[in-house]
Amino acid sequence: MPRVSLYFSIMMLAFAAMNGNQVFGQDATHCDVVTGVMMQLQQDPLFTQPYVDMDEWRDKPVRHRYVHGGFKGTETRFSYYFPAREQYEGRFFQYITPVPMDENVSQGATGEDDKIGFSLASGAYFIETNGGGANLVGRPGTSVDPTIAGYRANAAAAQYSRVVAMEMYGCQRPYGYAFGGSGGAYRTVGGLENTEGVWDGAVPFVMGSPMAIPNVFTVRMYALRVLQDKLPMIADAVDVGSEADPYQHLSAEEASAFSEVSKMGFPMQAWYMYDKLDLHGFAALFPGIVAADPSYFSDDFWHKPGYEGYQAPRSLQAAKIQHRAKIKKLILARDAETSGLAALLKAQASRGLADDAFKSLLGNSAADLPVAIELDSVPDKSTLGADIFVKTGKASGEKLLATKQLVGNYLLVGEDARDVLLKLKVGDEMEINNLNFLAAQTYHRHQVPEQGYPAWDQFRDAQGKPIYPQRPMILGPLFAIAAAGTVPTGKFTGKMIVLENLYDTEAYPWQGDWYRGQAQMYLGDELNDNFRLWYSDHPNHNDHGAQRVPTQTVSYLGILQQALRDVSAWVEQGIAPPATSRYTIVDGQVRVPADADERGGIQPVIQLLANGEKRAVASVGEPVQFSATIEVPKGTGKIVEAAWDFDGSGAFSSPAKLEQAVGDPVVVSASHSFGATGTYFVTLRAASQREDDAETPYARVSNLDRVRIIVN
């Protein structure tokens, strides 16, 4: 496969010229970038015939020109959003979705979630594509060429956008910057590593490593099962102001599981999410893992020494499900609202975000599609991840996956097997069987890589050899190739700022450091001239402004937006962004300094105290004195907002009075009393903004801090 070249954009200009199109009112061949090079162009043979099928001005979210099109002979589609000439500053921002999705997926968002509005407000036009089409989703073992969705379709759309932009604004090559999260981070990195001159910089965020899949999910599922009764205690013990040891009440097996998941990198402070963690992206990956290594599931795990299932511990034996039942009733999508399960069944289409794009791999709902199955009997154990084998009826021999836990006698089913679901009838017999899912939970022990992944050192002996039997192949890099077209190497061109989050339950934080190491090997002494890694405290994986637990996490969209502005200033003006965060990694856990300037990056740091401590004891009605200092790393902005949450609702309905001088930390204080006994967590959330603009929704960089109050 030839590398996608800088000259492809020039080829596109030449293509426009040969077809009689005009560039800013003059013949395209008069552009200096075209003259003399038309015969020297390199090009991707798949994307030689671009077309535009829609070109119109729109007023929402702000006035812009919308251009839609594709490439003849392919399923690739693109959308461009151009600002008015007076807003344009010579660049584009291109969003790379985690998997190939609709090219209009970013439309309709508002506030800080609005990628289009942010881009236009930043002097950039915005690009997104369908990644070549949904049929090009890369999966290990298929014949799909992963390079097309990995980076080639996106690169072609980026290059052709320059033709349209130069027609509109003038014959000066636009700078280009890609950004994508989770699987989109793989694809963003894949683009910079495998092209030249397409993108000048990039911001991959919540990024995994080539060993992320399936291992970050399997170890989490293992911990959720073994620790299920102790997770409330663990979540409280690792929260602020605790005096408890999270290991204190754990059995030997439970302590081992907690140590294992922690050393693999699951953030200890993120166990506040224990009751909200489910299969997530593993629902889309699990069938492929079973297909890739069938002997592990069918025989080896349960019958060979060295595997957890051989002489299985009591907890594993107790978790087994092999339950036969009959269908009593089918709940169809059109009946969901009146079923009594509406809140659980309400369909939520993927918005192409880092945290939900996997939904697009599971299909789309339809009115006549069963979304829940009432059974005449159910097991009294967790059915999450279980296979549902259909034993009788038209769907006999088929299989479904339980992507959610049983609710009463109702089995909530995913939409990944539409044809099977449509064949089901009342009275059909099914078997709920979770043996494969149980086996998957320790699969990471049998995937020990050779070098460079300290998270797996816990599975090596004193000589560095694996203590568990190893599978014939390491699956992680195969999934990375399926996503990005190649395994990330660190050999990229341009400037890059990688963003990782210390509360991330999907992309464990140490993986950003892994890529930094790869880039260090390639760039050597030039690393600091081309690369940054910023760790952010309190964001999780979800790239959405609204937080599921707003008293524990903050949005990282403002950090992402400022990183895009910073990488463009780095490329275009030579303004170096804030340095890579200072951090250490101990037993899989990433730790950062408490001081803002020492920590680095661009996130404000809050130090909140109650009566001078992180934990305070008070009587009912007794005022508690709260004080906080909020510091922003030097040169990264000013605090524009701070707000209190005293009742744990996450509403942050009590604005804090801000008094600050340039270069000084912000100090805020409050007094509050509690009307009943109990344990309370008070939270202060604050946001900084580089331009000191309190009104804009964009590039507002957030953080929070908490204290524990015991009211007697």
**Separation CA 357–CA 350 (nearest Å):** 5
> What does pTM read for this prediction?
0.91
Residue-wise DSSP of 150-196? IIIHHHHHHHHHHHHHHHHH-SSPPEEEEEEETHHHHHHHHHHHHBS
- Per-residue pLDDT at 282: 87
Q: Mean pLDDT over residues 62-90, rounded?
A: 96
pLDDT grade for 659, boundaries at 50, 70 and 90 = confident
Q: Mean pLDDT over residues 495-522, rounded?
A: 97
More confident residue, 283 or 675: 675
Query: Which residues lie across from 496 on neighbouring strands?
Result: 202, 531
Q: Which two tokens stand for residue 532?
A: 């940054």
Highest mean pLDDT of the ranges 140-144, 273-277, 281-285: 273-277
**Separation CA 349–CA 533 (nearest Å):** 32
Q: Which two tokens stand for residue 25?
A: 């009112």
Residue 11's identity, in one-letter code, is M
Q: Mean pLDDT over residues 488-495, rounded?
A: 96
Over 359-384, what HEC string results?
HHHHCCCCCCCEEEEEECCCCCCCCC
* 24 pLDDT more than 60: no
3-class secondary-structure state, position 417: coil
Condensed to tens digits (0 to 9), the pLDDT of residues 622-631 reads 999 999 999 9
Q: Are 191 and 44 in contact (CB under 8 A)?
A: no
pLDDT grade for 407, boundaries at 50, 70 and 90 = confident
* Percent residues over pLDDT 90 in the chain: 76
* 30 pLDDT more than 70: no
